[in-house]
Structure 1
Amino acid sequence: MQKFTLLLLSLVLLAPLGIDLYLPTLPDIAVGLNTPVANIQTTIPLFLLVMGLGQIVAGPLVDNLGRKPIAIIGLLLYVAGSVLGATADVWLQFLAARIIQGCAVCCTAVVAFSGVRDRLNGDDAARAYGFLNGALNIVPALAPLLGGLLAEAFNWRAPFWFLTLYALFIGLLVVFFLPETRPADTQKVKGLPLRQYWQILRQPRFLAFAFANAGALGMVLTYVSLAPNVLMTEGRLSALQFSIAFGANGFWIMLVSVLVNKVIRKLGRPICLAIGALAMTTGAVMLTAGMWLLPDAWQTHWALYMLPVAVSVAGLAFTVGPATSYALEPYQQQAGVASALAGFIQMAGGSSAGLLMMALPLAEKSALALMMVAGALLAFIAWRFSKTVRGTLTAL
């Protein structure tokens, strides 16, 4: 089972690698493609928006055709998008590359989370989700540093060639070692399962927890999208310093994730959701207070951005695992459809919120603070719903 979980993890990693690996190179990409850096920034939430929308289609496909074929299709698309990004010489080609990569990861993400639901139940499933979510935090910690080193040794195109090789390698592992896990009694659908989607969307419980994830993701996407400009352009950090600051935050989330498991065992998932809402609220207060109360000369210091972010992303760690488990628990025979719909709301909702915050005529820190407040409110609503759910989990 360990090998199976590691294979699923390798598929899940395609999404964060597609975001975090090229973060330190955003200014260089803008120069290389002769386009404003704002255009490159928007490819981050756009990537996840496509990923979210694509899951609406990928969910029925993994239930109808099986997990393994869709995983292979996703990996082939990822290779194509990575090669297109690595060879881009104009903005539109780079944009197309990111859209293709987004289509690819919607397939691999649905396969991974459906696979967990296929093979594992109860505490075993909770531990697997916890492992996947915890391991994902390694990527924000290490990928920017790797991307910065690759770009420094070669150029900004090197991270995309790395993604190409990674996807090819994982493709070989999937072809030879990933078993087909689709249950025999899986409910198949013709075309888009609009009726099934509608039945799930009518459940307030599902919506409350899915939108809590969307709010937390929107907060992180806003932070990630704005961080290169805030820290490197305004804060004058080098690419290496940016990678270290960004990576330290990833390791911080890993530590908080360990704490989340302990809190679940001792106090339960509702407490985690309440802590998540409180942490995001605190981060918004810290960020706003720093802008209003501290001297202008301090405003470009990295700590005024990263410390409130560290508090707020702790809220993400407390929110996402419990909310995901609450949302998917009732849908054993509709794992692909339910996972796809939850992923769609999380990715499309979070990325749309991030794009909206960046489009508003607000200072970058003000936009992030507003998104933190929205995430906190959605986590609070999920906490209220969790008080009415029966059943417990001892670990996540």
Structure 2
Amino acid sequence: MQKFTLLLLSLVLLAPLGIDLYLPTLPQIAEGLHTPVSRIQTTIPLFLLVMGLGQIVAGPLVDNFGRKPIALIGLLLYLLGSALGALAVNWPMFLTARLIQGCAVCCTAVVAFSGVRDRLDGEEAARAYGFLNGALNIVPALAPMLGGFLADAFGWRAPFWFLTSYALVIGALIILFLPETRPAETQSVKGLPVRQYLQILRQPRFLAFSFANAGAMGMVLTYVSLAPQVLMTEGQLSALQFSIAFGANGFWIMLVSVLVNKIIRKVGRPFCLAMGSLTMLVGATLLYGGVTLLPEGWQTHWALYMFPVAIAVAGLAFTVGPATSYALEPYQQQAGVASALAGFIQMAGGSSAGLLMMALPLHEKTALTLMMLIGTALSFIAWRCSKTARGRLTAL
């Protein structure tokens, strides 16, 4: 069973690697493709937007056609997208490559988590989900460092060749060792469960908590997308220095997540939602205050970006777990559909908000400040809704 879990982990890692591995190379990619860095930045939220949309479609596909065929289709798409990104000579080619990668991870992520549900239950399933989610938290801390090393040694195309090789190796392992886990009694789904989606979307409680997640995700995506421009182009950090700063913030989010689990047992979910709103507000205040109050010569220092961000991204850890649990609690008999819809709102809503912030004619720090304030407001609304929500959770 340990081998089975490791195979699923290899599929889960495709998404965070596709986002974080090439972050240190964004300015180099823009220079190599002779296009503004702002265009390259948009490929991060676009990748996640496609991933969010795909969750609505991929669920029925794995139930209709099986886990293994959809996993292999996803890996083939990922290989093609990564190779196209490595060979890109202009902006349209690179954008197409990122969209193909986004389509690929829809398939592989759904297969991975479906596989756990198929083969494991009880404490074993809980440990497997914890293992997979733990890996998702570690990769954003480590992948930029690997990408920075590869880019320093071989140029900006090297991270994409690494992803191509990774997809090729994992594809071979999946063909050889991953069994088909789709239960024989699985009912096929005809089309999309639109009626169920619409019924859930009519519930204000579900929308309030799901949009709180989308606001926190949009804030983090905006930070991630703008970080190379702020820290490397303006702040003159090297790719390696950027990777270290970015990785340290990833470990910080992990630490806060552990703290949140302990806080929930003591004071409950409403307190965590309130803290999520407060930390994003404090981060926005410090970030904008640094822009307006401090001397111009200080504006490009990395600390004026990373310290406010570190406070604000703690809001993600405080918000996402409690808000997700509140959103899904009423849907025990529709857990799959509700989870897919909540994931869609979080990914698609957050990435759309990030794209909007980058499209506005604002300086990078001002755009991030605005997104932090939006996240603050949505988490505050979720906190108010939690005061009337029934149920109690002592741990996540």
TM over 0.5: yes
Rounded to whole Å, the distance in 2 between the matches of 1:225 and 1:363 is 13
Q: CA deviation at 1:341?
A: 1.9
Rounded to whole Å, the distance in 2 between the matches of 1:73 and 1:188 is 19
Kindly indicate whether residue 157 of structure 2 is the aligned counterpart of residue 157 of structure 1. yes
For 1:31, the equivalent position in structure 2 comes to: 31
For 2:339, the equivalent position in structure 1 comes to: 339
- Equivalent position amino acid for 1:55 in 2: Q
For 2:105, the equivalent position in structure 1 comes to: 105
Give CA deviations for 1:252-295 in whole Å, capped at 9, x if unaligned. 11111111221123223332222211111111111111112211
Q: CA deviation at 1:177?
A: 4.4
Q: Sort the Cα spacing of 1:48 and 1:159 in 2 relative to 1 into closer, same or farther, 3 A.
A: same
Q: Sort the Cα spacing of 1:185 and 1:259 in 2 relative to 1 into closer, same or farther, 3 A.
A: farther
Rounded to whole Å, the distance in 2 between the matches of 1:51 and 1:228 is 22
- Equivalent position amino acid for 1:109 in 2: A
Worse-matched range after superposition: 54-63 or 42-51: 54-63
- Equivalent position amino acid for 2:96 in 1: A
Rounded to whole Å, the distance in 1 between the matches of 2:354 and 2:284 is 15
Q: Sort the Cα spacing of 1:325 and 1:170 in 2 relative to 1 into closer, same or farther, 3 A.
A: farther
Q: CA deviation at 1:185?
A: 6.1
Secondary structure, counterpart of 1:190 in structure 2: coil
Q: Any gaps of 5 or more consecutive residues in structure 2?
A: none
Q: CA deviation at 1:226?
A: 0.7
Identical-pair percentage: 83
Q: Sort the Cα spacing of 1:218 and 1:128 in 2 relative to 1 into closer, same or farther, 3 A.
A: farther
Worse-matched range after superposition: 241-250 or 316-325: 316-325
Give CA deviations for 1:153-208 in whole Å, capped at 9, x if unaligned. 11111101111122233334434444555556655421222112212222323222
Q: Sort the Cα spacing of 1:121 and 1:140 in 2 relative to 1 into closer, same or farther, 3 A.
A: same
For 1:310, the equivalent position in structure 2 comes to: 310
- Equivalent position amino acid for 1:354 in 2: G
Kindly indicate whether residue 207 of structure 2 is the aligned counterpart of residue 210 of structure 1. no
Q: CA deviation at 1:297?
A: 1.3
For 1:327, the equivalent position in structure 2 comes to: 327
Q: Is the 8 A contact 2:60 2:192 kept in 1?
A: yes
- Equivalent position amino acid for 2:166 in 1: Y
Provide the TM-score with structure 1 as the length reference. Answer: 0.92
Rounded to whole Å, the distance in 1 between the matches of 2:129 and 2:273 is 16
Rounded to whole Å, the distance in 1 between the matches of 2:121 and 2:381 is 26
Secondary structure, counterpart of 1:337 in structure 2: helix
Q: Is the 8 A contact 1:214 1:349 kept in 2?
A: yes
Q: Is the 8 A contact 2:60 2:188 kept in 1?
A: yes
Q: CA deviation at 1:30?
A: 1.2
Worse-matched range after superposition: 376-385 or 218-227: 376-385
- Equivalent position amino acid for 2:341 in 1: L
Q: CA deviation at 1:110?
A: 2.6
Worse-matched range after superposition: 268-277 or 83-92: 268-277
Q: Is the 8 A contact 1:288 1:369 kept in 2?
A: yes
Give CA deviations for 1:21-45 in whole Å, capped at 9, x if unaligned. 0011111111211212111111111
Q: Is the 8 A contact 1:126 1:325 kept in 2?
A: no
When the two chains are superposed, the root-mean-square deviation of aligned CA atoms in Å is 2.4
For 1:237, the equivalent position in structure 2 comes to: 237
Q: CA deviation at 1:146?
A: 0.5
Rounded to whole Å, the distance in 2 between the matches of 1:179 and 1:276 is 41
Give CA deviations for 1:45-69 in whole Å, capped at 9, x if unaligned. 1111111122221122123333333
Alignment of 1:345-364 (within 5 A): 345-364=345-364
Worse-matched range after superposition: 164-173 or 333-342: 333-342
Provide the TM-score with structure 2 as the length reference. Answer: 0.92
For 2:285, the equivalent position in structure 1 comes to: 285
Kindly indicate whether residue 250 of structure 2 is the aligned counterpart of residue 250 of structure 1. yes
Kindly indicate whether residue 110 of structure 2 is the aligned counterpart of residue 92 of structure 1. no
- Equivalent position amino acid for 1:302 in 2: W
Q: Any gaps of 5 or more consecutive residues in structure 1?
A: none
Alignment of 1:1-396 (within 5 A): 3-116=3-116, 129-182=129-182, 188-331=188-331, 334-396=334-396
- Equivalent position amino acid for 2:291 in 1: M
Q: Sort the Cα spacing of 1:83 and 1:31 in 2 relative to 1 into closer, same or farther, 3 A.
A: same
Q: CA deviation at 1:137?
A: 2.3
Q: How many residues align?
A: 396
